[in-house]
Amino acid sequence: MEFKNPLSGIKWKRIFGLTFLVIALGIGGYTYFNYGAVYSDGYRDGTLIKFSRKGFIFKTYEGELNQGGIANSASGTALANQIWNFSVKEKDVAQKLDKLGGKVVRLHYKQYIRNFAWEGDTNYLVDGVEEVK
């Protein structure tokens, strides 16, 4: 009586190939939706109060925008200023922002779920700037 292996009919190359494909698509999809897909985009207006280049290994451009606050001088109550932190990836946008410190600006941004270390400290990446006059 001859012994027949019950697993001999299975095509292992196809199983390993499909498994690899499913894992690769899963990793690719996770990476895209967390690091590449834009969660939201829009504009923010305010006074540019800080803009700098910082970092030890990855130098990134970081800024702060004062979006204002509400103050009532009659009653003496005040609401603190709303500060918005953002990052800039593109060098030409960073050069424009560097010249607009202390001025009222309108920034176009894209928000991501996560970002890579070399893209900045925040999830808000500014890709357009104009001075409000």
Domains and CATH numbers, the chain: 38-131 (2.40.50.140)
What six digits make up the tokens of 3?
């012994």
Average pLDDT, the chain: 86
> Is residue 25's pLDDT more than 90?
yes
How much of the chain, in percent, has pLDDT values that exceed 70?
Answer: 88
When pLDDT is cut at 50, 70 and 90, the band that residue 35 belongs to is confident
| Whole-number pLDDT of residue 9 | 67
| Whole-number pLDDT of residue 11 | 80
Query: What is the average pLDDT across 1-16?
Result: 75
Top mean-pLDDT range of 33-42, 74-83, 104-113: 104-113
Query: What is the average pLDDT across 14-38?
Result: 90
CA Rg value for the chain: 25
